[in-house]
Amino acid sequence: MLLHHCTWPEVEAYLTRSRGIIIPIGSTEQHGPTGAIGTDAICAEAIARGVGEATDALVTPTISVGMALHHLAFAGSMSLRPETLMAVVQDWVTSLARHGFERFFFINGHGGNMATLKAAFAQTYQAIADLGTVPGGDRVRCRLANWYMTRGAYQLAKELYGDAEGSHATPSEIAVTLFVHPPLKREVPLEPAIAPSGRAIYGAAAFRQAYPDGRMGSNPSLATADHGQQFYGAAVRELSESYRAFLAEP
């Protein structure tokens, strides 16, 4: 059930039975020579919608541009500054908290978003509690759920790809995009097959120097749409459980 496909009276009705909502967040950044720039948003959105269906929960539109400043040396990459992303998260949560939403489940597709999201949650709790015009503002809770860190997805990646999974432009995330949208398949020679790894992430110039084609330790050519379906299924199952547990917290 998509928030943006509902009318406002439908949302009002939903609130009489649930205070929870799911927010997909991705990124729009280079994913190596073969991966779609929108990979992280595509994965997060698909999985979030799957979780929404499985749990009868509302799903908002996707925050499609996240924190990816370190990817800006590759054409097409986009990023919010961390302070901007924090303001966006605060505004989204505050808007919905005004209506009575209390539990915000962020399904995230991008490791680079994690720190800023957690910082934003902390700032948002205090800001809403201080508003005074949002009754129950101090009951707001946000949860960060990274699909790629679910046990199921993690183990599947290990089995299917071993060391070639890497940590950026991974075959697992590319596989999900191929499952969601098969035409995203690109046949481009990758050299070396498994990208270098092990260098820490700093600014955009340093990133490109360390990772010349954008991949980090991965061989995304191993990805298939069929794998993607398996990742999708595992992530949806596990995050649906997490979401239910989140709602059930005292």
Residues 70-89 that bind its own copies (CB under 8 A): 70, 72, 74-84, 86-88
CA distance 97 to 225: 38
CA atoms in the 13 A half-sphere facing the CB of 8: 2
Token pair of 9 as six digits: 């009276």
Q: How many residues bind its own copies (CB under 8 A)?
A: 93
Instruction: Compute the least distance from the CB of residue 143 to its own copies, in Å.
Output: 7
Nearer to its own copies, 30 or 172 (CB): 30
Instruction: Compute the least distance from the CB of residue 128 to its own copies, in Å.
Output: 8
Nearer to its own copies, 96 or 156 (CB): 96
CA distance 80 to 43: 19
Site track 135-174 with its own copies (rule: CB under 8 A), x = hit: ---xxxxxx-------------------------------
45 contacts 28 by C-beta, under 8 angstroms: no
Nearer to its own copies, 181 or 237 (CB): 181
Instruction: Compute the least distance from the CB of residue 159 to its own copies, in Å.
Output: 27
Nearer to its own copies, 113 or 156 (CB): 113
Q: Which of 19, 49, 107, 116 binds its own copies (CB under 8 A)?
A: 116
| Beta strand pairing call for 20-25 and 141-146 | unpaired
Query: According to the 3-state scheme, what is the secondary structure of 94-148?
Result: HHHHHHCCCEEEEEECCHHHHHHHHHHHHHHHHHHHHHCCCCCHHHCEEEEEEHH
Instruction: Compute the least distance from the CB of residue 9 to its own copies, in Å.
Output: 6
Q: Which of 206, 225, 242, 247 binds its own copies (CB under 8 A)?
A: 206
Site track 171-200 with its own copies (rule: CB under 8 A), x = hit: ----------x-xx-x-x----------xx
Q: Which of 112, 166, 171, 217 binds its own copies (CB under 8 A)?
A: 112
CA distance 83 to 39: 23
Alpha carbon distances (Å) from 59 to 156, 182, 224: 26, 24, 27
Nearer to its own copies, 193 or 205 (CB): 205
Distance, CA of 184 to chain centre: 19
